[in-house]
Structure 1
């Protein structure tokens, strides 16, 4: 990799916060900007809102789950599955 990874880490590591409505309640979600950018792209590609994704994560993991962790995991799994040379286990 020829690119200086420290540049990416600096630019994308800043935390951002959004309010997300999950099952009728407002939840504060703090993620790195890179994850919000990836989530926005994922939502556009799949024609789904971040609120619906959050509700699905909570339904699978249970209420009170770490939503931020679930969203990060979803982003990584989504983009890994889009890479032809990788398969999810």
Structure 2
């Protein structure tokens, strides 16, 4: 998923805190009884957009990201697919 925004700069500390909460590369919060890992798989932050593979993270991860952007002062947010958009909807 790609989240486009109109912020001049992302709030580094808030973004880092969000990433540490939802990404668990060391499996520190791994629950062997859980069906899914409950974490995002990746995040790439670029000027005016963030690409996130939400993996099996709780939907709260998505809403938390939107709140983070809103709290940072974003007035425009656009959600899109991370895949290249095709002119042919059947592809």
| Both structures adopt the same fold (TM-score exceeding 0.5) | no
Provide TM-score, normalisation by structure 1. 0.28
Provide TM-score, normalisation by structure 2. 0.27
Structure having greater relative contact order (Cα 8 Å, sep ≥ 6): 2
